[in-house]
Amino acid sequence: MTRKSTLAGLVATVVAATQLAAPAHASGPTPTDLPPARPGVQHWDLPTSASPAPQTEEEKKAGMQNGRTVPTPELLQPSIDPALPAFKKTPGLKINRTYQAGTSDVLPGLVDMWVKDFQRYYPGFKLEIEKPMAGSLGTLELIKGNLELVFVSRELKPTDVSSYREKFNADPFSVPISGGSWRHYGFLDAMAFMVHPDNPIAKLNYQQLDAAFSSTRHRGGKPVETWGDLGLTGEWKDKKIHLYGITPWNGFEEFIRQRVLSTDGKRGEWKKDMASDPVFFYVARRVANDRYALGYTGLSAIDSEVRIVPVSEGDGPAVSPSYDAVASTKYPLTRLVYLNTNGSAGKPVDPGLAEFLRYVLSREGQSVIQRQGIFLPLRAHQVEASRAYLASNGAKK
C-alpha cells in the first residue's frame, strides 16, 4: 500500500469513526448530564516511517554534482502566511552581476526556482553554483573568500564560527530563509524526542530535556537521572533513564544541542553515559527495544514503534510534531535553511544580494517554496526576524 493510500485510508477511518460516534441528540438541546469539555492532547496513531538508508557513495557523488534526488511531496501542503510582506523593488537599483555561490546538495532545485523568479524583476542577476555541492565545503570556501554566498541546510558548526572569527574578527552573516520539511529524509525533517510505548510520560520541556541529556544544565534544572526525576511514579519512579542520541559532530545532534542544551550564549555539553550512534537511522530502533529509553532523532527515521513525547520550550502547552504544528512552527523542534555570506554580521551586505534576500523573505519568495512542495515556507514572525537581521546589516527592511 502506498503512503497516499495509507493516509487516505487513515483520514477516511477517522471521519467515519467521528460520524458513527456522533450522539443522537447532537442536533437537539444540550443534555443536562453532559460533562465539560477537557481541552488537551488528541492521541493519534500513525504508521511508522519506512526505514531510511544511508546514501551510497555513488549517490553521494551524484548529489554533489547534480543535487540530491527530490522526494515525492507530501499530500498535505502548507499555506502562505497572509501577513508576509509583498516584494517591492528598490527604486533606482540595477543588478547586472554574477555571484559565486555554493549550496547544500538538497537545495539546488529550490535555489534555481528562486533565481529564475527573481530574474523577472532583475534579469541581470545571476548565480554560478560551485561544485561539488555540499554545505560544509561551501562554508569552508566562503571563509577562504572563494565564494560570496552559500545556501546551507544546517546550523553553522562551532569550528565554522571560530574560523570565521579568526579570519574576519567578526561573527558570520547567517540568516534563515526557509523552513525545513516535515519528515522528508535528508531534507531537514523535524526532530522529536521519543520513549518506549509502555512509558506513560505525558510531556517534557526544554529544561527537563536539558537536565536529562546534558552535563552542563545551562537551563537551570535539577539533575535528572531517573524517570521519577521527570515526574513518573510507581514502578517507574526509581528506574534509571537510558539516553540515546547521535555522536557529535552531526547536524542532527548540533540542532538539538543548540536548540535545547544551549542558552544565553552558553554551549551545552552531552552527558558521557548517553549511548550514541554515528548516524540518526538507528535511534528509534534502540528506543523501541529499551523500556526505560529516552532518545531523539528525525521524523523520517522513526521506523519502529515508539511514543513521541510532546515538547514545550517553557511552561506553556506541549506540542506534538503533527504536520500542522511543524508547518505553523507551533512545534518547537522544526528546522531551517540558511543563507550565509562572506560579509560579517553588523556590516553592510552587497546591495544586489540584499535585494535578493528581501525577495526571498517576501510573499513572492516564500510562495516559490510552496510551489516546490518539499520545504516549508517561513511564517510571518520568522520573516520579520530575518528581515530585522538583514536591516541590522545595512539593508532596507
- What the chain holds in terms of domains, given with CATH numbers, is 78-180+335-391 (3.40.190.10), 191-327 (3.40.190.10)
Residue linked to cell 540568516: 175
Q: Give the closest residue to 338 by CA, choosing from 362, 357, 364.
A: 357
Name which residue leads in pLDDT, 395 or 320: 320
- Is the pLDDT assigned to residue 145 strictly greater than 90? no
Give the residue among 293, 277, 267, 159 at the shortest CA–CA distance from 215: 267
How confident is the model over 345-354, as pLDDT tens digits? Answer: 667 899 999 9
pLDDT in tens, 241-257: 999 999 999 999 999 99
251-255: long-range contacts, CB 8 A cutoff, minimum separation 24: 251/153, 251/154, 251/155, 252/191, 252/280, 252/296, 252/297, 252/298, 254/154, 254/155, 254/157, 255/154, 255/155, 255/191, 255/333, 255/335
DSSP secondary structure letters along 82-130: TTSPPP-PPTT----EEEEEEE-TTSHHHHHHHHHHHTTT-TTEEEEE-
pLDDT of residue 17: 40
Q: Which of 63-67, 100-104, 204-208 has the lowest mean pLDDT?
A: 63-67
Quote the pTM value.
Answer: 0.86
Q: What is the mean pLDDT of residues 310-337?
A: 96
In this prediction, residue 52 has a pLDDT band, given cuts at 50, 70 and 90, of: confident
Average pLDDT over residues 334-340: 96
pLDDT at 48 over 50: yes
Find cell 528525525 and name the residue: 298
**Residue 5 CB coordination number (10 Å):** 9
Q: What is the spatial distance between Cα 4 and Cα 76, in angstroms, rounded to a whole number?
A: 10
Instruction: Indicate the average pLDDT of the chain.
Output: 89
For the four alpha carbons of 146, 147, 153 and 155, in that order, the dihedral sign comes to positive
Mention every residue, 6+ apart, whose C-beta is less than 8 A from residue 119.
Answer: 125
